[in-house]
Structure 1
Amino acid sequence: MVIYDNKQWFNTLVNFSRSYVIQQLFRSTLMVGIVTAIFCVLVIDVFQFEIRFQSSLFSLLGIVLSILLVFRTNTAYDRWWEGRRLWGGLVNNSRDLALMMHSMLDRGNMEDRNYFAKHIANFAVALKEHLRNGVKLEELYHLDEREIVMYKQRQHIPNQIIASLYERTQHLCRSEAITGFDSIPIRTHLQAFTDILGACERIKRTPIPFSYSIYIKIFIMLYALILPFGLIEEFGYFTIFLEMLLFYAFIGIELMAEEIEDPFGLDCNDLPTGTIATTIKNNVYEILCLYKEVEKEKVRELYEKVF
């Protein structure tokens, strides 16, 4: 995710080109400008055609295209915002569960404190990678040999981590380290983990319908192709600038929507799930009095476009 200060307006504009979407947009707009320039030279200087189109036709098409793009952007942003709300809920549930375990477990019971802290933190890290290209075991915290072997045999590691937390909770009830009433809110938070996991998978595995996405792209390209015919008679070579400006506006909205509709990856504008997972780990270990595990420096995950 690109980190910026929205109060520094001019500095934000200077760093505008850091976004992959903007770089791709500049290249596409430049290509359209070159094609339009060739068209203008052929029509005005070489063949000297007289092309007359009703400008109202292009205004009508522009309105239709704008409505489609507004709906496209709102749909993509809803997915991005829902993902942010889900990860915010994960932060809150992780803290609440850690606070409960801190109040229920004896101060000297470092084994169970370590167990819950490790598994809560590992769930956030595993979920982050599960929503990308698969969980990387080397990123999980403090795995022993038994856990490494077990996770290598599992297709769905976040589910296994939740199952381990359920089993540990049941073990604490049987050993009377906590009461049955104490286990009820614990299970509620574990259920919330499962709900967050399922909701994130729904966003990840249910993209915008292909036909709808490709329809808008074709519409934009057709509009860009025929627009010079309606502008060249009145604006001449100024058509090149107008064509690039309108194409920049329309295709830019589509590219931004395309990037944020899957908010869990490594694109410039995706959610900072790596940073959030680190925050969960630090908070949980601190709550359970395991201060030596808290990272002193906040490490920001490097976000870049994945080709």
Structure 2
Amino acid sequence: MIVYESNRFWVKDMVNFTRSYTMKKIVFGVGLIGSYTALVCFVYQFYGLESNLHSGIYSLLGVILSILLVFRTNTAYDRWWEGRKQWGALVNNCRNYAIMVESLLSADDKDTRKFFAKHIANFCIALRDHLRDGVRTDALLMLSSEELNELEPKKHKPNHISLWLNKKMVLLQKSGVLSEADAINMKIHHNALLDILGACERIKKTPIPFSYAVHIKLFITIYGVMLPYGMIADFGYHTIGLVMVIFFALLGLELMAEEVEEPFGIDCNDLPTGDIAHNIKNNVFEILLDERPLKEDVKRELYEKVH
């Protein structure tokens, strides 16, 4: 995720636009439409052709396209913001879960504290990777050989980690460490982890309908291809620059929406789920064990940072 100061002089941000992969795609598309428009202008001027297309047609099509793009970008941003809210809820819930465990366990019960600390953290790390390309067990913390052998073949690793947490809670209740009321209160936080998992999976596995996404891309392409013919009679070779500016705006909105609608990846503007999981890990270990885990391998290079 690109991190920047929103209240600084905005021209400074513009010099970093080439660092965005989406911006590079926009520039490539604008370059193509500019070359095409230059060819159209050359042919019209060289052969003395005239265009009888009325500019009002383009105004009407532009209004329709603008409405579609506004809806498209709003829908994409809603998905991005919903993902951020879910990960914010995950942070709060994991802290509450860890604080409750800390208050219920004795200070001498280091093993149980360590169990909850590592697996609350592992749930978040596994969720991060589950929403990407799959969970790597070597990225998880302090797994015993038995846990590793049990977890490795599982297809849904965050679910299985939550199962371990639930089994441990039930075992503590049966052994008398937790009362029934304590177990019920802990279960609330445990269930919240699964609710967040389900909400993130819903965002991940329910993309914008294919026909809708393709229709907008096709509309933008057709509009861009037709645009030079409606402007060349009035603007001549100036049509090249005007078409490029218009296409830059339209294509930019579409590609930005395309990038943020999948918020859990590693693109420049995706959510920093790795950093969030790393912070949760440090928080729960500090609460339960008053220490930080030894494994500090967060790959912060995944997220562009603009200073």
- The interval holding the TM-score normalised by the smaller chain is over 0.9
Take 2:77 and 2:293, find their aligned partners in 1: how far apart are those partners?
Answer: 36
Take 1:107 and 1:72, find their aligned partners in 2: how far apart are those partners?
Answer: 53
Match of 2:88 in 1: 88
Q: Normalised by the size of structure 2, how large is the TM-score?
A: 0.96
1:63 aligned partner, one-letter code: V
RMSD of aligned residue pairs (Cα, Å): 1.5
Take 1:110 and 1:204, find their aligned partners in 2: how far apart are those partners?
Answer: 37
Q: Tell me how far 1:297 sits from its aligned partner.
A: 10
Match of 1:32 in 2: 33
Q: Tell me how far 1:42 sits from its aligned partner.
A: 0.8
* Corresponding position: 1:47 with 2:47: yes
In the superposition, relative to structure 1, how do residues 211 and 298 fare at CA in structure 2: closer, same or farther (>3 Å)?
A: closer
Take 1:200 and 1:301, find their aligned partners in 2: how far apart are those partners?
Answer: 23
Q: How many residues are treated as equivalent by the alignment?
A: 303
Take 1:286 and 1:294, find their aligned partners in 2: how far apart are those partners?
Answer: 12
Q: Is the 8 A contact 2:274 2:298 kept in 1?
A: no
Take 2:182 and 2:222, find their aligned partners in 1: how far apart are those partners?
Answer: 63
Match of 1:111 in 2: 111
* Partner secondary structure for residue 67 of structure 2: helix
2:288 aligned partner, one-letter code: L
Query: Residues 1-307 of structure 1: matches in 2 within 5 Å?
Result: 1-8=1-8, 9-44=10-45, 46-293=46-293, 300-303=300-303
State the Cα deviation string for residues 144-171 of structure 1 (Å, max 9, x = none).
1111111112110000011100000011
1:270 aligned partner, one-letter code: D
Q: Tell me how far 1:16 sits from its aligned partner.
A: 1.6
Q: Tell me how far 1:174 sits from its aligned partner.
A: 1.1
Q: Normalised by the size of structure 1, how large is the TM-score?
A: 0.96
List gaps (5 residues or longer) in structure 2.
none
1:23 aligned partner, one-letter code: K
State the Cα deviation string for residues 32-82 of structure 1 (Å, max 9, x = none).
1011111101111x2110112211110000000000000111111110000
Take 2:101 and 2:294, find their aligned partners in 1: how far apart are those partners?
Answer: 18
List gaps (5 residues or longer) in structure 1.
none
State the Cα deviation string for residues 96-144 of structure 1 (Å, max 9, x = none).
0000011111011100100000000000000000011110111000111
State the Cα deviation string for residues 246-272 of structure 1 (Å, max 9, x = none).
100001100011111110011111000
